[in-house]
Structure 1
């Protein structure tokens, strides 16, 4: 047993003071769909609904062991790390100061405060996270507090490895493959570092959002690289630069082991798991399940574990998630329609709709010419093949239109 595996087991045992093992559940629906033995490690069922509690607790535990006088901790986070630290502060009875961007949703602020109670203070500062982080580190140096990093810390990585310790104990054997979401890299580095020693035959796939593939960029470059832009939709994994310590632990991986999942396709998984299985997932938590379809025959007949990293989902985002899922699956489209300015023109257009087509958005934009007007129209249907038939009928009847469903610029301003 290596020093790391021994430390990971010690961390796992210490966690039992906070909560029991999160469930490892076989999912019959996914197993039948992919012809494999699919298991879900349900980190969304931890006390703070994510794996982040593990790393925050372990790092705080080890700091307290080394420096018993250290009773002040600081972090910068707008999500799961903040909640994990708040929970840990209350457990250890230490003071925590949590810096969050001013734009943080009130729901996340309230949950963090509820987990920490009287032991945490929340400071809202900065419109963007980089400014929030800078303020937290400056305050930390001034006050002599300990900065609790979300992922770029060996003690945090050690704590996240407890996911693997539990997984192997619960399954009773080594799985053929494990799928892991990657943001800053703490979870992926902890799990793989433990399992490459204890289950060397297990393969890994790392799942990143298409708009934030920092691990893939680092593997291609041979070092951590800051992405020029990051799509913030997958807020639990939208990290511009993977951490140095996690990358050091993951540098053995090949770029083709990283699966990039489109943000809209992640939404399809979120809606499907909610409707079919009654499981609420945050975008980052849905990524491993989403990536299963990219593996195809490679997992047939195999035992596969998807680590569900979190389920902190604000239901105010559900309309956006449903919208993006419908667009991705071809069940909803938006068009700019050039409508003749004559009586009955709108009726003529509506008569072209099929029995499964429904108008979900109708907005008169402006007259684009003396005899024509521009209409923004959204159509929902029950099967994607209905749209080619509708477009053919529109062209036959002389209706000019432009499909803007995938036009990011126009979508941002009009949809």
Structure 2
């Protein structure tokens, strides 16, 4: 999807309010529990973009998120009576961990309400950090649902609400991120990119940086399906979203804060929206630079930075992205790895139709050439035409066009599915099924060393005397590639088929009697 870029004229600043935020930031009590995080160069990405890219590593905090700063600063300011009553917080996870650690550090009882969609790693961490001081309640599907439940409990029990973003002490705590990065640089950066949910981090960083370095652009980045701040700044008033996407769960907020909105309206230069594929690509970028894995919200800022650099033609500019958190569910890595290639437009997906006749499969392989194949799905289903789903590693949209041209030069009909969400999410996994045409089919599983050109080499060796009725391959990044092939050979040709299989030189296993195969794929 195209990424929209929103800018507006900033209203004149409210000097007393800005001065108050600056004073509170300088006096913030964050370093009792938080650490000054490093500002690290992203050397690979810098070389690729032609700019100096720096990562502010808030994922290295004790709770693996910047949220500890604001939560502790707010709770450290409570008076004796408020501490005795205890606190309550609502959070999708990272703020909850900050409140939990602060509660244990300060000896304050805390009730923390989290949506049921919060990643398990975050829920477990809240209980671990808070120990006996914390009670965790799970309710609702989003932060806003959890906030509504927390408001009811706050009134019932007389607890102090520790807001995750719309509180001046919380904002001042988050602003120390901006204070640090300006101190860590010999000269102000051209732009700082900040992930946005409710707006606390963006409001704090923007308020502080604009006071000391007004020429530095402060740019907020949101997931396209959770863009409450972008919409609010575009319309000039706070917008409440009916639904939010949950992939970037740490920033899945339906409505931004009143205070954060006003501060962002005064100080933020622009907002960017990025999609899930761009976020996944940014997660991989952070991993390649640091060998750490940020959560989706933690990679938002870098996704926006890359988009900004690509569209603005910058050269030798100093750009900073806040890596805001690393509380990633391990199971989510499967989706991230799958979509990262699409986020960089390094994988193109095609549906290719070729005639079911001798030689057409060879011409299909010729059209692919020596390109790295990421996926190959085929199931015989038509006596006249074969429909193949194939993924190809590409470097650009121009190369996608070149692949399409190569298929068409062979006379094949081709459909580019690289931007088709249905194909990327579902259809790629549903190619196949039972076929009445798969007579005399034997099923074989092959292993081969995963290296560039390995699959084309395998395809080139397939004997033309037997028909391929099923083919499945997906590059999962492992050392060994795995292929499932259906080969049609009459009973009197089985001995010749076995000699052919032995000549391939690839380890293989006959799966023709596999129960799942017979249940799901055999007619």
State the TM bucket, normalised to the shorter chain.
0.7 to 0.9
Secondary structure, counterpart of 2:40 in structure 1: strand
The one of 292, 300, 309 equivalent to 1:287 is 300
Tell me the residue number matched to 1:322.
Answer: 337
Taking the aligned partners of 1:356 and 1:410, their CA distance within structure 2 comes to 21
Q: Which residue of 2 aligns with 1:43?
A: 58
Structure 2 residue matching 1:212: 3-state secondary structure: coil
Given that residues 144 and 254 in structure 2 are in contact (C-alpha distance below 8 angstroms), is that contact kept between their aligned partners in structure 1? no
Counterpart position of 1:57 = 72
User: Any idea what SS the aligned residue of 1:15 has?
Assistant: coil
Aligned in 2, Cα 1:18/1:320: closer, same or farther, shift over 3 Å? Answer: same
Aligned counterpart, 1:104 = 118
Check conservation: 2:305, 2:319, Cα contact below 8 A.
Answer: no
CA distance in 2, matches of 1:406, 1:382: 14
- Paired residue for 2:515? none
- Whole-angstrom CA distance in 1 between matches of 2:190 and 2:365: 53
Tell me the secondary structure at the aligned position of residue 368 of structure 2.
Answer: coil
Given that residues 196 and 251 in structure 2 are in contact (C-alpha distance below 8 angstroms), is that contact kept between their aligned partners in structure 1?
Answer: yes
1:270 paired residue number: 283
Q: Which runs of 5+ in 2 are unaligned?
A: 1-17, 429-523
2:386 is equivalent to residue 354 of structure 1: no
User: 2:21 & 2:337 partners in 1: Cα distance?
Assistant: 42
Q: Structure with the greater relative contact order (CA < 8 A, sep ≥ 6): 1 or 2? A: 1
Q: Is the 8 A contact 1:70 1:146 kept in 2?
A: no
Larger mean Cα displacement after TM superposition, 100-109 or 240-249: 100-109
Secondary structure, counterpart of 1:241 in structure 2: coil
Structure 2: distance between partners of 1:332 and 1:37: 27
Q: Which residue of 1 aligns with 2:392?
A: 380
Aligned partners of 2:195 and 2:215: how far apart in 1? 20
Structure number, greater radius of gyration: 2
Shift of residue 202, structure 1, vs aligned partner: 3.0
Aligned to 1:236: 250
Task: Measure, in 2, the Cα distance between the counterparts of 1:163 and 1:243.
Answer: 20
Rounded Cα–Cα distance in structure 2 between residues aligned with 1:393 and 1:38: 37
Note closer, same or farther for the CA distance 1:370–1:302 as it changes in structure 2 (3 Å cut).
closer
1:207 CA displacement: 2.1
Contact residue 144 and residue 253 of structure 2 kept, 8 A: no
Residue 407 of structure 1 aligns with which residue? 420
- CA deviation after TM superposition for structure 1 residue 343, in Å: 7.6
User: Shift of the alpha carbon at 1:185?
Assistant: 0.6
Aligned partner of 2:273 in structure 1 is: 260
How well do the aligned residues superpose, as a CA RMSD in angstroms? 3.1
Q: How far 1:163 moved relative to its partner?
A: 1.4
Counterparts of 1:292-311 in structure 2 under 5 Å? 292-293=305-306, 294-295=308-309, 300-311=315-326
Give the corresponding residue for 1:24.
Answer: 39
- Which position in structure 1 is the counterpart of 2:131? 117
308-317 vs 127-136, which deviates more? Answer: 127-136
Is the contact between residue 35 and residue 300 of structure 1 (CA under 8 Å) also seen in structure 2?
yes
CA distance in 2, matches of 1:80, 1:363: 44
Change (3 A) 1:72 1:332: same
Structure 2 equivalent of residue 225 of structure 1: 239
Q: 1:86 aligns with which of 100, 103, 119?
A: 100
Deviations 1:222-266, CA, capped at 9 Å, x for gaps: 111123553332222233322211011111257x62233333223
Range moving further from structure 2, 137-146 or 354-363: 354-363
- The TM-score normalised by the length of structure 1 is 0.85
CA contact (8 A) 1:219 1:253 kept: no
1:251 is the counterpart of 2:265: yes
Offset from partner CA, 1:354-393 (integer Å, 9 cap, x none): 22232524254x94x6755655x24232545554444334
Cα distance in 2 for partners of 1:19, 1:128 equals 27
**1:33–1:53 Cα change, 3 Å:** same
| 1-structure distance, mates of 2:95, 2:376 | 38
If the length of structure 2 is used for normalisation, what is the TM-score? Answer: 0.69
Task: Tell me, in whole angstroms, the C-alpha distance in 1 between the residues paired with 2:21 and 2:393.
Answer: 54
Listed as ranges, the matches of 1:138-287 within 5 Å are 138-171=152-185, 174-253=188-267, 257-287=270-300
TM-aligned CA distance change 1:137 to 1:228, over 3 Å:
closer
Instruction: After superposition, give the CA deviation of every residue in 1:300-342 in whole Å (9 maximum; x if it has no partner).
Output: 4444433222222233222322222212333323344556566
Match of 2:89 in 1: 75
Report the Cα distance in structure 2 between the residues aligned to 1:317 and 1:244, rounded to whole angstroms. 33
Give the count of matched residue pairs.
Answer: 408
Secondary structure of the equivalent of 1:226?
coil
- Seen in structure 2, the aligned counterparts of structure 1 residues 45 and 146 have a Cα distance that, compared at 3 Å, is same
Separation of aligned partners in 2, 1:171 and 1:390: 45
